[in-house]
Amino acid sequence: MAREQYDRDRRRFVKGAAAAGIAGLAGPSLVGAARASDTDWHESYDLVVLGSGFAGLAAGIEARQKGIERVVIFEKMPYFGGNSAINGGLFAAPGTPLQKKEGVEDSVDRMVADQVLSGRGVAYEGLLRHIAGNAADALKMCEDAGAEFHPYLQQLGGHSVPRTYQTTVNCGAGITQPLFRKCQELGVLTRNRCRFEKFVQDDAGRVVGVTLATRYYYDRDVSEGETINVKAERGVLVATGGFSQNIALRSAQDPTLTAEVTSTNAPGATGEAMLEMFRLGAVPVHLAYIQSGPWASPDEGGFGYVSNYSIYNFPHSVAINRATGRRFMNEIADRKTRADAELANRDEQGKPLPPILVTSYSEAIKHPSAKKVLRYGVGWKFDDLASLANKFEVPIGPLDDQITEYNGYVRDGQDKQFGKSMELAKGKLIEPPYMVVRLWPKVHYCQGGVEINANAEVVESSTRRAIPGLYAAGEVTGGIHGVSRLGSCSIPECLVMGITAAKTVAGGAV
């Protein structure tokens, strides 16, 4: 997204660097936290929440329900919901009513075991257990607020059983919109265009407030209102999400994630509040573990329509390398395994050759977004294999053989090529007509962030104690998922840890 700036002298918009030096440009603060003794307060609340995604909204609701009176959510962007409002709306939880209905055997232990495996040995098992143990309650909070879910479960990559709910609108907005309304109903103040600048600490090191630039315009990176000091009597919760859209920061962590790699994230996911927490001594954890989504399409921006379409269809589809006409991965392996496998799809010059996901049209069209995928030119239908092979320049002989071979695995219930679980592929042979989308990973999720404990308190690096008055929840925190988060495990994490933070604040001494 191009960011433009407004040149007041010429009353024109100018692009990028040319605008540098204009007075009033918002920028990072050059000093650490301000001192409370030097601060004139403009506003005062009990709980100040930064960010209006799943974690911030859930915290707002829980805080009010636990009797915290003056709660405010500040949002940097012009609209509320953060990256949560454009995510896939997929929600994993063990021991849910739908699992009971479908006869799925599952448990907190089993969900945590799946996550630990994908975390490749460095996930925080204790926090995962806390989250899985409270996920069903968080789901209920969403339903109570009016969120609606499909009446079926999905089994996402890396999950050993179907345990994933999805909103009926196939998007996180099916949760953020009801939670946002609920917050407003409960008297939580919501303020947009407020860019967090820095924390305010008292002499004992307690975080007692924040400084914010108001009337902030993200697209021009300028604040046109006054800078305000906001007092937080009982705590500040940072729920500002990841930094997938901060190209300099993410490529410093992982040099392969240059500007050429696009992202599924909302443009505001740039991580400045996380960096300010580091200034206070928060522990940076796993910042280089940045996950790309293997279900994204190079034919549309962001998460788009294809992502959810692919997630749904992967279990009964084949992903094909266009140079060889062969499969190249287990289509429901965890995200990192698949993204790495996809990135290896190159032409002879080493340029990306996005692989194709081939699905029987009769199955593909069952996904609620499938019609949109076709209509907006990000997926295609073919009556026969020859026209499909022709369109994507795939050698038809090997492709035909591959599909015949794979259909044998569908019949036998065993994938001898890549060990894919064929449970959800049962009876679903790949047959014409076909539906096809192209795949190419997009930067999706930052596993890294600040270290928190099970009370959602931010841990200080030298003392190993909680920084008083400072809480964090959601993608801004690090370590919980280890190397690679499983799909549909972020929503329960954000909600549960947002709720946890509010509970800690409510239970703590004023």
Partner 1 sequence: MSLNTRSRKRYVLSSVAIVLSLLLLGAYAYGELKEYAGIDGQSYHAEMHEKGRCRACHGVNEPESYPEDGSCLRCHEFEEIVAATIPETEEDRWQNPHDNLHYGKDVPCVECHGEHTNKAPLCANCHNFDFSDHEY
Which stretch, 199-207, 370-378, 390-398, 430-438, contacts partner 1 (CB under 8 A)?
370-378
11 sits near partner 1 (criterion: CB under 8 A): yes
The 172-191 contact track toward partner 1, x by CB under 8 A, reads: -x---x--------------
Minimum Å gap between C-beta 493 and partner 1 is 21
Of 220, 250, 335, 338, the active-site residue reads 335
298 sits near partner 1 (criterion: CB under 8 A): no
DSSP string, 349-402: TS-B---EEEEEHHHHTTSTTHHHHHHTTSSEEESSHHHHHHHHT--HHHHHHH
Minimum Å gap between C-beta 176 and partner 1 is 8
Return the structure tokens found at 166.
């999805």
Return the structure tokens found at 291.
């996950």
Among positions 195-224, residues that touch partner 1 (CB under 8 A) are 215, 217, 219, 224
Beta bridge partners of 327: 320
Minimum Å gap between C-beta 259 and partner 1 is 16
For the chain, counts of helices (H) and of strands (E): 14, 23
Rounded CA separation 90/157 (Å): 12
Out of 3, 13, 16, 362, the residue judged to bind partner 1 by CB under 8 A: 13
Q: Which is nearer to partner 1, 61 or 422 (CB)?
A: 61
4 sits near partner 1 (criterion: CB under 8 A): yes
Out of 169, 186, 247, 288, the residue judged to bind partner 1 by CB under 8 A: 169
Q: Which of 315, 335, 312, 321 is nearest to 413 (CA)?
A: 315
Sign, CA torsion 267/268/269/272: positive
Out of 371, 416, 426, 464, the residue judged to bind partner 1 by CB under 8 A: 371
Rounded CA separation 99/11 (Å): 59
Q: Which is nearer to partner 1, 260 or 348 (CB)?
A: 260
366 sits near partner 1 (criterion: CB under 8 A): no
Minimum Å gap between C-beta 1 and partner 1 is 6
3-state class (DSSP) for residue 40: coil
12 sits near partner 1 (criterion: CB under 8 A): yes
Among positions 15-54, residues that touch partner 1 (CB under 8 A) are none
Return the structure tokens found at 416.
């001898």
Rg (CA), the chain: 24
Q: Is 70 noted as a catalytic residue in this protein?
A: no
Rounded CA separation 448/129 (Å): 18
How does DSSP classify residue 283? P
Among positions 222-261, residues that touch partner 1 (CB under 8 A) are 224
Which stretch, 55-63, 91-99, 351-359, 374-382, contacts partner 1 (CB under 8 A)?
374-382
CA dihedral 497, 498, 500, 504 (to 10 degrees): 130
Minimum Å gap between C-beta 198 and partner 1 is 23
CA 119 from chain center: how many Å?
16
CB environment 267-287: b (16+ within 10 A), e (fewer) = ebbbbbbbbbbbebbbbbbbb
Supply angle C-alpha 250, 254, 256, rounded to 5.
Answer: 105
Minimum Å gap between C-beta 319 and partner 1 is 22
Among positions 57-96, residues that touch partner 1 (CB under 8 A) are 78-81, 85-86
Q: Which of 452, 507, 504, 503 is nearest to 474 (CA)?
A: 452
Minimum Å gap between C-beta 62 and partner 1 is 22
Which stretch, 231-239, 301-309, 352-360, 485-493, contacts partner 1 (CB under 8 A)?
301-309
- Active-site positions read 335
Q: Using CB under 8 A as the criterion, which residues of the chain lie in contact with partner 1 when the complex forms?
A: 1, 4, 8, 11-13, 78-81, 85-86, 169, 171, 173, 177, 192-193, 215, 217, 219, 224, 267, 299-305, 371, 376-378
